[in-house]
Amino acid sequence: MSAVTGVQETVAALRREVCALHEQLIRYQLVVWTAGNVSARVPGHELLVIKPSGVAYDELTPENMVVCDLDGRVVEGEHAPSSDTEAQAYVYRELPQVGGVVHTHSTYATAWASRGEPVPCVLTMVADEFGGEIPVGPFAMIGDDSIGRGIVSTLRASRSSAVLMRNHGVFTVGPTAAAAVKAAVMCEDVARTVHIARQIGEPVPIAQHHVDALHDRYRNVYGQPGQPGQPGQPGQPGQH
């Protein structure tokens, strides 16, 4: 099989996968109308696959997913790519271990973002999935790589796979696009639970040594070997 044929088959498979993963955003009620997107890195190549801009979810097909280079320029596709393309391309350039990026405006997590407030680590699920609080990134305008710069600078100071971009919404990353979707689902779930807890009283933080132990167990012991984020898979993008 030639190198060109190999790239074409990889891109075709990622188009199918990225298209199908958008169904999960709807299933878990993380998006409305045409907002939000999933993207995936093309392994071994300076390319990504991403949702087209402004296309309804029930009109998405593998064929209308857009292939771009890591500067956000369209390489293949008949549609304009998501307005987040340059931002996500920046993430892929700066964090080579990231294989997938997801953006949502899910209700509860975005409510935290609108307050500029991180989701505190008061649940074992937060410790497991995010290794500590879910941090807040800076306000940034849409349309260039400004959001990407905020995502990268925030995640580099955290073990989290999610960042709440101030006054905007949620961006999650993972070693695969599926892992990034999982992080988006988990982010919304814990944001909702912690919000409800705060209506009753002040949630109790988990001690740091317990957070570290929970996160390590979740990354290295929990689940089946070979699953995204499980034994044999790359870790999170943070430095801690």
Listed by start position, the domains of the chain span 3-220
**Amino acid letter for position 40:** A
DSSP string, 45-65: SSEEEEPBTT--GGG--GGG-
Instruction: Report whether 185 contacts 101 (CB < 8 A).
Output: no
DSSP string, 90-146: HHHHH-TT--EEEEE--HHHHHHHHHT-PBPS-SHHHHHHHSS-BPEEPP--SSSSH
pLDDT along the chain (240 residues), means of 10: 79 98 98 98 97 98 98 97 98 98 98 98 98 98 97 98 98 98 98 98 98 96 68 41
Largest separation between any pair of C-alpha atoms in the chain: 62
Structure tokens, 111: 């409510």
> Does the reported pTM lie above 0.75?
yes
Instruction: Report whether 171 contacts 225 (CB < 8 A).
Output: no
**For residues 142 and 148, what is the distance between their CA atoms, to the nearest angstrom?**
10
Query: Which numeric CATH code is attached to 3-220?
Result: 3.40.225.10
Give the CA dihedral 157, 159, 160, 166, nearest 10 degrees. Answer: -10
Residue-level pLDDT at 231? 36
Q: Give the pLDDT confidence of 151-204 residue by residue, as tens digits.
A: 999 999 999 999 999 999 999 999 999 999 999 999 999 999 999 999 999 999
Residue 69 Cα distances to 22, 86, 145, 148, angstroms: 21, 10, 14, 15
